[in-house]
Amino acid sequence: MNNPSSRGVAVVTGASSGIGAVYADRLARRGHDLILVARNEERLKSVADRIRGETGREAGILPADLTDRSSLARVEAVLREDETVTVLVNNAGIGSVASILQEDIDKVDAMIDLNIRALTRLCYAAAPAFVARGRGTIINISSVVGIAAEMLNGVYSASKSYVLSFGHSLQKDLADKGVRVQTVLPGATATEFWDVAGYPAQKTSAITMSAEDAVDAALAGLDSGELVTIPGLHEGEAWDRWEADRRELSKKFGNASPAPRYGL
């Protein structure tokens, strides 16, 4: 890049629209240069041109289908080898509202590829590189359905539960190595996600948040040191209780004999 930022380069996946495009805009305004990743090259160019014009930051594009292994490998290589990269936003994802009795298994398989496999491989590329560089931030976009698992398609909800659990593990592994990991759980957000998922009416629901508000809240959470940010949860202490109870419960699993309630 011609005018490298002291804040480094942010790689944002799913950056051609919605939450990813807003992250790109906001990170540029915070002083980051950008590498924008998505399948749609023309839309990526449009986002990059607008950001360059409005912020003066560099915005490169990397068209890639993250369900394709060769495309994914190109993005992994950037994360491993480009020493200017300091932020990874794993935003790319697809969803569904269909039940197991309605959904096509090939579409489900593609969802797993993007929501789980691609996110995991990008984290595995970025984390060691960030540790070697002495700094870095990984932002993984999960969803409230990672907790409220019954709300949408079961595989989609499970994929977002994976992102949340994986984030806890990353935080444990990287906390003392100069790498920050934030997991963001948006609720319903007014993006094209709902068109793809098969329920466009959700975009105009009274409970649906704008992408701008969701990202601005997530970045405020990052600034305040939150490990998990839920933009639409007004009772923040409810998450603190949930997390404390989860960690306390996990201490109670290590028993060599079955519980008395099983009568063995």
pLDDT at 197: 65
> Position of tokens 């959700």?
202
Q: Which of 45, 26, 28, 27 has its CA nearest to residue 37?
A: 45
* Whether 156 is catalytic: yes
Per CATH, the homologous superfamily of domain 9-237 is NAD(P)-binding Rossmann-like Domain (3.40.50.720)
User: In the predicted model, what is the mean pLDDT of the chain?
Assistant: 93
pLDDT at 75: 98
pLDDT at 205: 77
Q: Which of 54, 67, 66, 70 has its CA nearest to residue 12?
A: 66
Strand pairing category for 179-184 and 228-229: parallel
49 confidence band (pLDDT: 50, 70, 90): very high
Q: Is the pLDDT of residue 100 over 80?
A: yes
| pLDDT tens digits, one per residue of 140-173 | 999 999 999 888 788 999 999 999 999 999 999 9
pLDDT at 259: 96
Cα distances (Å, whole numbers) of residue 86 to 17, 32, 33, 154, 259: 22, 9, 10, 34, 48
pTM of the predicted model as reported, rounded to 2 decimal places? 0.93
Each domain of the chain, given as residue ranges in start order, spans 9-237
Q: Is the pLDDT of residue 111 over 80?
A: yes
Q: Is the pLDDT of residue 249 over 70?
A: yes
Element housing 26 (H / E) = helix 18-29
pLDDT, average across residues 200-216 = 85
Strand partners, 170: none
pLDDT at 201: 72
Q: Please provide the DSSP assignment of 51-114 as one string.
A: HHHHH---EEEEE--TTSHHHHHHHHHHHHH-TTEEEEEE---------TTTS-HHHHHHHHII
Which residue of the set 156, 162, 199, 262 is catalytic?
Answer: 156
pLDDT at 1: 47
b/e map of 51-64 (b: 16 or more CB within 10 Å)?
A: beeebebbbbbbbb
**207 compared with 161, residue with greater pLDDT:** 161
178: left (phi over 0), alpha (psi -120 to 50) or beta: left
pLDDT, average across residues 215-226 = 98
> Position of tokens 């405020």?
220
